[in-house]
Amino acid sequence: MTRRLVILGKQGAGKGTQCELLTERYGVAHISTGDMLRAAVAAGTELGRAAEKLMDAGELVGDELILGIVADRLEEPDARAGVLLDGFPRTEAQANGLFALLAPETVDRAIDLDVPDEVVTQRMLERGRADDTPEAIARRLELYEAETAPLRKLFADRGVLVTVDGLGTPADVHGRIVAAVEAAP
């Protein structure tokens, strides 16, 4: 069965851990826009240099650029068996672009991994990435609420949104996600 999954949640909510478990369970391609952007930064490409300036300031990379990156990635052979989109879409424009890319198919489930701000802030500070300063974290959380949180309504209106408590052990959270993904719509 081809699965097209989206995982939503603030940075530091545990999406990376859950994505590893979900890709192993379902045999789908894990498409992380954050990983793709960090690779471009490390490689020093033009995209990477532009993205680095935005990411260091806690800003998001533009919709058109991200949609192009994701569209190319969805064409790769491993994505035919299904995908788990991590860090995408972040805006309504990106979500609408995704629906257009997948048409006539659609997203099977959008998983909203719910973790309080104070917990994700502490997790991000502890992981020690250069772009995880208190100021950048606060800015990303503001942007998340302003731009990404409205996606909940968009996915809910399509009948594919499931909200999952992201607190607990990785195994506990994974069990809740699997139950939500496999529940009848």
Closest by Cα among 15, 7, 12, 18 to 131: 12
Give the pLDDT confidence of 35-56 residue by residue, as tens digits. Answer: 878 877 888 877 778 878 887 8
Q: Compute CA 20 distance to the chain's CA centroid, rounded to the nearest angstrom.
A: 13
- With CA atoms as reference, report the closest residue to 79 among 70, 88, 90, 87: 70
Q: Report the pLDDT value the prediction gives residue 185, as an integer from 0 to 100.
A: 63
Residue 10 has pLDDT above 80, yes or no: yes
pLDDT-derived band at 34, boundaries 50, 70, 90: confident
Enumerate domains of the chain plus CATH numbers: 3-182 (3.40.50.300)
Dump pLDDT digits (tens) for 138-160: 998 998 888 887 899 999 999 99
Pairing of strands 161-165, 29-32: unpaired
Average pLDDT over residues 109-121: 95
Highest mean predicted confidence (pLDDT) among 37-41, 57-61, 116-120, 181-185: 116-120
Q: Find the DSSP H helices in 33-169.
A: 33-43, 46-56, 63-74, 92-102, 117-127, 134-143, 151-157
3-state secondary structure of 111: strand
The residue type at 124: M
Under DSSP, the state recorded for 45 is -
Give the per-residue pLDDT at 3: 92
Contact 111, 181 (CB under 8 A): yes
* Residue 7: closest CA among 173, 138, 146, 134: 173
Question: What mean pLDDT do residues 123-127 have?
Answer: 89
Q: Indicate if the pLDDT at residue 113 is higher than 70.
A: yes
Buried b (16+ CB within 10 A) or exposed e, 88-110: bbbbeebbebbeeeeeeeebbbb
Map 154-167 to HEC letters: HHHHCCCEEEEECC
Question: Which position has the higher pLDDT, 46 or 126?
Answer: 126
